[in-house]
Structure 1
Amino acid sequence: MLPREEIATAQIPNGGMLTLIAHGRDHVIMLGRDELMGTRMQFSEEQLARLTLERLEMPAPRILIGGYGMGFTYRAALEVLPANGHITVAEVVAEIVDWARGPLAHLIGDTLDDPRGEVIIADVAALVDDAGDGTTPLYDAILMDVDNGPDGIVRDGNERLYTRTGIARMRDALSVGGLLAIWSAADDHKFTRRLMDAGLQVEVETVRARPNNKGPRHTIWFARRVR
């Protein structure tokens, strides 16, 4: 059996400790004893990006991604992003970006140098608030992958993103016709109702964690602003 090797750790602001683990050719990011993401099960995070972009009709979409992680969502979004589109990724843990340029560099290729995108050290909630207040332009899509679902377990304060007030802020940060897409490790019918109560047009899709139709079933909510 291959041993697990601890590569690095990073403290989440107002949250727990992240640990980057190498297991043979695979890598895993752990939160305590919980596996947040890993290279063996990245398909659903890639689908978060691809399925969102498929649903957008804007020729030059402005996209916000909450959470960099291992870069799966960002890389997949860049692969299908129109030439004039732009992506901003908000990541609160600076070491995550260091890992992307270091031990995880083989996963991302040249995506961190793509002129159509940027990764900034910031709270995604703050960028949402800026757009909703009219401080910055609205987004055509907001992709949220900062937790294992709408429960805010990764960082104290994240749960506010999934409350009625948080959903309303994300809706107000979207252009009309824009999409709020949220990844989750499990379904949550109460959260679906919360999105609908915010006046969003909601579609729920189940995606397997691996492209061979194996692995856990993950949930993605696609919530469109219709007015």
Structure 2
Amino acid sequence: MARFDLLGTAAIPGQAGELRLLRRNDEFSIRIAGKPGELMNSRLHGSEDALATLPCEQVADRQNPRVLIGGLGMGFTLAAALNALGQDAEIVVAELVPGVVEWNRGPLGAVAGHPLRDPRTRVHLGDVGELLRSETAAYDAIMLDVDNGPEGLTQKANDWIYSTKGLAAAQKALRPEGILAVWSAGAAPEFTDRLAGLGFAVDPVTVRAHKPGKGARHVVWLAW
């Protein structure tokens, strides 16, 4: 079996760690330097697709829908949102790591169909929390995939987004009858309780990492 080759590294703002982009033939992997396993793989994106498809299908018929994606990753969630929404939509994608944006404009772009080139896409280079804190009734849907789930892995500052204060900020940033979707690598019943405690109706949906119906079981919380 061919081995992965390193294509590039990207510093994670606010800490000493870095992300690594690797390729093996037509397969891409993003990992955290010095840690086992991988954050994402271009062959396993079924749950990232679901993170966008599940909420966007519920708001697609609204006039000029505006949605926010926290975390660009390999671009699959963004691509799925673009596919689910019409030409009058605006999709804002916030990415903390500048190198990840550059990878998606370069070697990674083709794997998700170059979603950054779509005129409906707007890139916010920075913490999605900045947008959640500053905006009110701005989005019909908010999709968060900034780490491995409710426990920050890439950066401890991500924990704020999953905290009661962070979720309340997301709630404030939603338009009336808006929907919040949160991706996680695994179940976390206490996170369901946290959302419910803010008055959200909550539906934790089990989705598979690989389509059709294969791969690890991940979770997408839908909250409205």
Equivalent in the alignment of 1:122: 126
Equivalent in the alignment of 2:24: 23
Equivalent in the alignment of 2:220: 220
Report the secondary structure of 2:80's partner residue: helix
CA deviation string 1:161-218 (max 9, x = no partner): 1111111111111112101100000010000000000011111100011112111000
Report the secondary structure of 1:29's partner residue: strand
Equivalent in the alignment of 1:2: 2
Q: Distance in 2 between matches of 1:214 and 1:6?
A: 28
Letter in 2 for 1:184: S
Matched, 1:194 2:194: yes
Which range moved further: 87-96 or 104-113? 104-113
How much does 1:11 deviate? 1.0
Aligned length: 220
How much does 1:123 deviate? 0.8
2:69 corresponds to which of 65, 68, 74: 65
TM-score by length of 2: 0.94
Equivalent in the alignment of 2:56: 53
How much does 1:152 deviate? 1.4
Say if 2:104 and 2:114, in contact at 8 Å, map to a contact too: no
Structural mapping, 1:145-160, within 5 Å: 145-160=145-160
Say if 2:12 and 2:97, in contact at 8 Å, map to a contact too: yes
Q: Distance in 2 between matches of 1:3 and 1:177?
A: 48
CA deviation string 1:86-126 (max 9, x = no partner): 11000011111111122112223342121111122121000
Letter in 2 for 1:146: V
Q: Distance in 2 between matches of 1:36 and 1:166?
A: 23
Letter in 2 for 1:130: S
How much does 1:27 deviate? 0.5
Matched, 1:35 2:38: yes
Matched, 1:103 2:107: yes
TM-score by length of 1: 0.93
Letter in 2 for 1:94: P
The alignment yields a C-alpha RMSD, in angstroms, of: 1.3
Letter in 2 for 1:210: H
Equivalent in the alignment of 2:13: 13
Q: Distance in 2 between matches of 1:203 and 1:162?
A: 16
Q: List alignment gaps of at least 5 residues for structure 1.
A: none
How much does 1:54 deviate? 1.7
Report the secondary structure of 1:216's partner residue: strand
Report the secondary structure of 2:215's partner residue: coil
Say if 1:206 and 1:220, in contact at 8 Å, map to a contact too: yes
Q: List alignment gaps of at least 5 residues for structure 2.
A: none
Report the secondary structure of 2:148's partner residue: coil
Letter in 2 for 1:43: G
CA deviation string 1:16-68 (max 9, x = no partner): 21000112220000013231111110111011111111222523211010010
How much does 1:222 deviate? 0.4
Q: Distance in 2 between matches of 1:44 and 1:144?
A: 12
Aligned identity (percent) is 42
